Homo-oligomer: A and B are copies of this chain.
Amino acid sequence: MEKIKVLEKILSANDRIAENLRRELKEKRILLVNIMGSPGCGKTSVIERTIKEMKDLKFGVIEGDIETTMDSERLSSLGIPVSQINTGPFGGDCHLESAWVSGAFEKLNSEGLNIVFIENIGNLVCPAEFDTGAHVNVVVLSTPEGEDKPLKYPLMFRTSHVMLINKIDLAVYLDVRVEKMKENARKINPGLVVFEISAKTGEGFSAWEEFLRDRWKNL
Tell whether A146 is near chain B: CB-to-CB under 8 Å.
yes
Tell whether A61 is near chain B: CB-to-CB under 8 Å.
no
The number of times this chain is found in the oligomer is 2
- Say whether A152 contacts B3, CB under 8 Å: no
- Say which residue of B4, B65, B148 sits within 8 Å of A70 (CB atoms): B148
- Say which residue of B67, B167, B175 sits within 8 Å of A154 (CB atoms): B67
| Known interface pairs A122-B124, A145-B40; A153-B66 also in contact (CB < 8 Å) | yes
CA distance A212 to B173 in the complex (A): 30
List the B residue with the shortest CB-CB distance to A40: B145
Tell whether A68 is near chain B: CB-to-CB under 8 Å.
yes
Tell whether A123 is near chain B: CB-to-CB under 8 Å.
yes
- Hey, which chain B residues are within 8 Å of A2, CB to CB? 6
Range of interface residues on A (Cβ < 8 Å): 35 or more
Stretch at the interface among A16-24, A75-83, A90-98, A109-117: A90-98
CA distance A58 to B187 in the complex (A): 38
CA distance A10 to B4 in the complex (A): 12
Tell whether A204 is near chain B: CB-to-CB under 8 Å.
no
- Say which residue of B70, B90, B91 sits within 8 Å of A151 (CB atoms): B70
| Nearest CB on B from A203, distance (A) | 15
- Hey, which chain B residues are within 8 Å of A70, CB to CB? 148, 151-152
| Nearest CB on B from A30, distance (A) | 27
Chain A interface residues toward B at CB < 8 A: 2-4, 6-7, 10, 38-40, 65-68, 70-71, 89-94, 121-126, 129, 142, 144-146, 148-149, 151-155, 167, 170, 173-175, 200
26 A-B residue pairings within 8 Å (CB atoms): A3-B7, A6-B6, A7-B91, A38-B38, A38-B122, A38-B145, A39-B124, A39-B145, A39-B149, A39-B152, A40-B142, A40-B144, A40-B146, A66-B155, A70-B152, A90-B129, A94-B123, A122-B153, A123-B125, A125-B126, A126-B126, A142-B144, A144-B167, A170-B170, A170-B173, A170-B174
